[in-house]
A and B are shown apart, each in its own frame.
Chain A
Amino acid sequence: SAVISQKPSRDICQRGTSLTIQCQVDSQVTMMFWYRQQPGQSLTLIATANQGSEATYESGFVIDKFPISRPNLTFSTLTVSNMSPEDSSIYLCSVEVRGANTEAFFGQGTRLTVV
């Protein structure tokens, strides 16, 4: 299993500013996943963060807007840059513990409101 501490849990930010979300895992994991979830919607994968290499971004998401750091195997940050109201969403980090069966573990989520 894995326990993920994500912070902040929520924030209200001014447009044009940036917010960095942090996730700390209690064990070493190869990949961490960052998701966005707009109100009432499913999870949309932003990027996969690998330690020691650049993150892999999904279609529609770019590094300039969502820079990611992965300095070690237990920590990652996602920055939402130059925010606009359209960035208001829930952001979630996740890890998948793989073995005979893969199970996902999530941070508590960050509820971002851009005004």
Chain B
Amino acid sequence: SQQGEEDPQALSIQEGENATMNCSYKTSINNLQWYRQNSGRGLVHLILIRSNEREKHSGRLRVTLDTSKKSSSLLITASRAADTASYFCATDRGSNYQLIWGAGTKLIIKP
């Protein structure tokens, strides 16, 4: 069920800095999604970018998608301690397929 790779595996930055996480995948997709997981809890949907989109914004989140490189990045600007969590990408190949999950990036924001 896992086709995506995310890097870095872990990222520790100071509060206020920007955090960038990357996701690569292997097959063609309908869209790519990013989810957040607070420690040991269920994942929560953050943002979705369709295969015909290159960039999308939502608040402090910016997602890019490069289908030629089969990669995506999630940028969190002006990070806060509350952003500390694990972030996962998931690829959607269409309604007949299950989502495929990346390995996740553990983000720690130091106050």
Residues of A within 8 A of B (CB): 4, 6, 33, 40-45, 48, 58, 90, 92, 94, 96, 98-99, 101-109, 111
Contacts and interface: CB of A to CB of B under 8 A. Distances in A.
Contact of B104 (A33, A42, A45, A58): A42
A43 B43 CA distance: 10
B45 A42 contact: no
A42 B43 contact: no
B99 A106 contact: no
Interface of B: 1-2, 30-31, 33, 35, 40-45, 48, 50, 88, 90, 92, 94-95, 98-99, 101-104, 106
Contacts, number: 62
13 contacts: A4-B42, A41-B103, A42-B102, A42-B104, A45-B1, A90-B40, A101-B30, A101-B92, A102-B92, A104-B90, A108-B42, A109-B42, A111-B40
A105 B33 CA distance: 12
A79 B99 CA distance: 24
Contact of B35 (A6, A41, A104): A104
Given A58-B1, A108-B42, 9 more contacts: A4-B42, A42-B2, A42-B88, A42-B103, A98-B95, A99-B95, A102-B94, A102-B95, A109-B41
